[in-house]
Amino acid sequence: KNQVEQSPQSLIILEGKNCTLQCNYTVSPFSNLRWYKQDTGRGPVSLTIMTFSENTKSNGRYTATLDADTKQSSLHITASQLSDSASYICVVRTLDSNYQLIWGAGTKLIIKP
């Protein structure tokens, strides 16, 4: 069964600190993996997209990694800011006829001053 699992479920860190969010998937066949940021009550916004051959991709203070062999991805946030408080969702797209999106449950990140 295609699944995406994220950890931790929630995380509280102090402003200025770094953090890493994890995503493990059992999706086959794999097409790509995206990390979305979703503010409460708003639509998701794409942070990064990674294909099978990519190991690392950065977007400002966000750096995503992908290990296609172990089917793991991480999102590292550097020098966190209050505006980083949001849910971060890992989404994997299948490479079958439906090109289905498999959504993780998300990690709720809270940045405290």
- What is the contact surface with another protein in residues (CB under 8 A)? 31, 34, 41-46, 49, 89, 91, 93, 98-99, 101, 103-106, 108
Evaluate the CA torsion angle 62, 67, 71, 72 in order and state its sign. Answer: negative
Residue pair 76/17 in contact by the 8 Å Cβ criterion:
no
Q: How far is the CB of 58 from another protein (least distance, A)?
A: 17
Nearer to another protein, 46 or 81 (CB): 46
Which residue lies nearer to another protein by CB, 41 or 113? 41
If the CB atoms of residues 19 and 33 are measured against another protein, the closer one turns out to be 33
Least separation in angstroms between residue 103's CB and another protein is 4
Cβ contact 74:23 at 8 Å = yes
d(CA 47, CA 88): 9
